[in-house]
Structure 1
Amino acid sequence: MAAPQFSPLDVNPETGELFLRLPHPHATIILTPPRTRDAEPIVDIMNDPAVYPFLGRPKMPYLLEAAVALVAENKHASDAVIKALEDAAPDAFAEDCPVSSIREVLPDGTEVYIGSIRVKRCNWWEVQGAQRVRLMEQNAGRATGDPETVWQVSDYVASSHHRRGIMTAVLRTFLDQWAIPRMGVRHLHVSVFTGNEGSVRVFEKTGFVLVDTLENCIEIRGEMRGLHVMDWHHSGYSAALVSCLFLRS
């Protein structure tokens, strides 16, 4: 078992690496810290036409150097939160999660990288201009664990693992086991590209509410795209409705 500061994460007895295992029937799926060798499978996933149209970040084709930089960024975030928690009280809130890489454990024990999940402070993709700046500055100024902080989810899984309930299980486990108790997450606000009905279903199954659909509101790779705006509150639907009204004010 991990030290109390990292509860409920476990420790791999052979490598010393932290991990979080999903419950049955997805017990072969674990979340671990990023690893340098994740870069090559990330390139394959990012260039998959079943995945990349629904991601905002990658330029196409997605090159190995971009994947190396992404792994370094995620590994830095993981290392930083591990260091912060090592020096903190067992019940201290964390700004991030040490485990963000999704892996499938094969029968021979091989761990295959299949995706990623991050919960970070919200950047309000769908909001423009001074209002977005105001929201982000206000959000950034809140202390770690502040229940008024607004967070967003960034996730993807390899198309080989689509339509198996894996991402729904990952998101539920991530929220229940870490984001809610260890980060103090109470409000999530996400934007999903229109056409990405798989992600919409994942979020709906996890308790998110669709609050708006905006057509042609953001330019991605030279193309205007629409967004589904969805909210989740630990306290339920009524708070999500309040958030929707706030963003429109």
Structure 2
Amino acid sequence: MPLERNPSTGELFLRLPAPYTSLILTPPRPDAPAIQAILRDPAVYTWLGRPSSNFSFEDAQRLLGEYTAAANAALDALKDDETEAGALKPMEDCPVRCLREVQPDGSDAFVGHIGFKRCKWFELGLDSDTAATRNGEQRERLVKENDARVTGDPDIVWQVSYYLSPTHHRRGIMTVVLRTLLDEWAIPRMCMRHIHVSVFTGNEGSVRMLEKCGFVRTGTMERCIEVRGERRSLHVLDWERAD
């Protein structure tokens, strides 16, 4: 198992490869203040649909609750990690999702988050100035079929969301985080073969990061969604594992 265990606290963690070994992924902790600070920063929330400068501490606590519930479910699944035949059981999620930078004194600081979920095809059903409204029934069918697949089914389509503190932007960190999680966990333990995402146009850093990880841009939906009073466009990208 690629996860290590902190000898002092017993907490599981995943260390990034060199030259990023000071960065680790851990389960959630009481990170609400750091989450709030990052998601209130315009360098971050501009490219996300939900947060804004009004993102409250209570909002951060609710979001942290979502992270914690997902991570705890994965940690519980790890307690019974083998089938009767001795093989490792496929996982529905990853127990480590909070990115932290380890300081010289051994302490660490929350600097970002990444998480996988079964795909919900968010962009389907959105209005577009240049295309007909996507079929909401198609989205409902896709989500229903996707949710019905059993854990470990390679036909599950996933989505990934992430954010990083502006203090750590433009250093290639999220590229390494996503590649590491794919190679060390998502592919071998979640049987992940297909990820589908949408990214706001203008967020070229995120698009470049995804393309470096093997994602391919499959289309652009012009002015398809209103966010904070502004009509925004979306790039759609897909990653499929080449067997």
Regarding TM over 0.5, the answer is yes
What is the root-mean-square deviation in Å for CA atoms of aligned residues? 1.1
Structure 1 partner of 2:119: 122
Deviations 1:134-193 (A, max 9, x none): 111111011111111000110010011000010001010011000000101000111001
1:79 and 2:72 equivalent?
yes
1:111 aligns with 2:108: yes
Correspondence for 1:160: 167
Please list, as runs of the form range in 1=range in 2, the aligned pairs for 1:15-164 lying within 5 A after superposition.
15-36=9-30, 38-89=31-82, 91-128=88-125, 129-164=136-171
Q: Is the 8 A contact 2:71 2:96 kept in 1?
A: yes
For 1:51, what is the secondary structure of its paired residue? helix
User: How much does 1:60 deviate?
Assistant: 4.0
* Alignment pair present for 1:235 and 2:232: no
Cα distance in 2 for residues equivalent to 1:143 and 1:87: 17
Of 9, 12, 27, 2:3 maps to: 9
2:227 and 2:204 map into 1 onto residues whose CA distance is 18
Name the CA distance, whole Å, in 1 between partners of 2:167 and 2:113: 14
CA contact (8 A) 2:16 2:180 kept: yes
Find the partner of 1:206 among 204, 213, 238.
Answer: 213
Number of the residue aligned with 1:224: 231
Q: Give the CA deviation at 1:59.
A: 4.5
* Structure with the largest fraction of helix: 1
Superposition TM-score, scaled by structure 2 size: 0.92
2:184 counterpart of 1:187: no
Structure 1 counterpart of 2:32, one-letter code:
A
Give me the whole-angstrom Cα distance separating, in 1, the residues matched to 2:211 and 2:62: 32
Conserved in 1, the CA contact under 8 Å of 2:218 and 2:236? yes
C-alpha distance in structure 1 between counterparts of 2:163 and 2:216, whole Å: 20
SS at match of 1:83: helix
> Alignment identity in percent?
57
Task: State the partner residue of 1:239.
Answer: none
The structure 1 segments of at least 4 consecutive aligned residues displaced by more than 3 Å after TM superposition are none
Partner of 2:133: none
Structure 2 unaligned blocks of 5 or more: 126-135
AA matched with 1:221: R
Q: Does 1:215 align with 2:222?
A: yes
Mean Cα displacement is larger for which, 222-231 or 96-105?
A: 222-231
Name the amino acid aligned to 1:201: R
Matched, 1:197 2:191: no
Deviation at 1:57, TM superposition (A): 2.2
Q: Is the 8 A contact 2:74 2:92 kept in 1?
A: yes
Question: 1:56 deviation in Å?
Answer: 1.4
Q: Which amino acid aligns with 2:227?
A: I
- SS of the counterpart of 2:46? helix
State how many pairs are aligned.
Answer: 229
| 1:123 to partner: Cα distance | 1.1
